[in-house]
Amino acid sequence: MIDEKKAIEASAVMGLLGDLKDRVDALESRLDTEVADIRAQLPAERAAIVLFSGDLDKVLAAFIIATGAATIGLETTVFFTFWGLTVLKRKRVLKGKNLMERMMAVMTPETSRGLDPSKMAYFGAGAAMLRQMMKAKDVTSLEDMIELSRECGVRFVACEMSMDLMGVSQDELRSDADLGGVATFLGEAVNARLALFI
Amino acid sequence: MSEMQADKVLDAQGLKCPMPIVKARRELDALAPGAVLKVIATDKGSVLDFQGWARTNKVAELLGQETERAADGSDRFLHFLRRK
């Protein structure tokens, strides 16, 4: 009689334990998916910079930020568009360009060395002065900064649409620049810690 | 020829950024969940663009990308997207 009662009690407890286990399992899997969802929304350790400007001072600022971001462990990408494309140029190619594109090529600097500052350009005198002052005060030159940023792992993406528009061909650019568009930037920027337009 | 099967093909040849992704988004909106859209683009930047887009959008996932050499020697970039 007592044994029978105990057996009934035991099976009731087992049933309860089974229920509990099912509930815990369900909770666990719900927690896993919810945590994964939240993780996906958290900022990623990335920085995305649009370099639109072709002004020496702004370009320098962009590279200081990009290199700094890379050194604190952010996966950093610089998107070069419009006047910023000049920074990626290693030479000027006129062959294969139409009249307008050739004019554009001649009126924009051949490489980053020809960039003017945003203020006090004075037909190149401003840039020469700024560069000389940087040298005197041991500020890293723009060209060294560009190489340094690559060494730190900064990725370069050239905007293909603005290249097409301005008639810039890929063989005029550094070979380590990828081609991309707005979604390439957004893919990096949407969850990034830092997104800048310079 | 491409190995992947598609339910719908979007001809984005000659289109520049951001038109391939804008048109792809429109096509995907009209597709049923699970359906595959094949986008044919001539824009080299579309390769990274669709990767970036797939990472951020909520309507489709990128199944794969292929490059096809056309008869005239130019490249066609194929992107396969599945509607979520």
B55 interaction partners in chain A (CB closer than 8 Å)? 187, 190
What residue numbers bound the domain in which B64 lies?
A: 8-83
By the CB < 8 Å criterion, does B74 face chain A?
A: no
**Interface with A, mutate which of B22, B48, B79 (most A CBs under 10 A):** B48
Q: Do A182 and B17 touch (CB under 8 A)?
A: yes
What is the enclosing helix (H) or strand (E) of B83? Answer: strand B75-83
Check: CB of residue A93 under 8 Å from CB of residue A163: no
Of B17, B21, B55, Cβ closest to residue A160: B17
CA distance A116 to chain B (A): 29
Of B45, B51, B56, Cβ closest to residue A160: B45
A185 interaction partners in chain B (CB closer than 8 Å)? 52
Mean local confidence (pLDDT), A57-62: 96
* CA of residue B26 relative to chain centroid, distance: 12
CATH code at position B26 = 3.30.110.40
User: What was the pLDDT predicted at A86?
Assistant: 96
Mean pLDDT over each residue of chain B, to the nearest integer? 92
B68 found inside a domain? yes
Gap between the Cα atoms of A182 and B19, Å rounded: 10
Active site positions of B, annotated = 17
Q: What is the pLDDT of residues A150-194, one digit of tens each?
A: 999 999 999 999 999 999 999 999 999 999 999 999 999 999 999
Q: What is the pLDDT of residues B3-35, one digit of tens each?
A: 688 999 999 999 998 999 999 999 999 999 999
Q: Do A186 and B51 touch (CB under 8 A)?
A: no
B51 found inside a domain? yes
Report the complex ipTM.
0.81
B2 found inside a domain? no
Helices and strands, number each (H, E), in chain B: 2, 4
Q: How many domains does chain B have?
A: 1
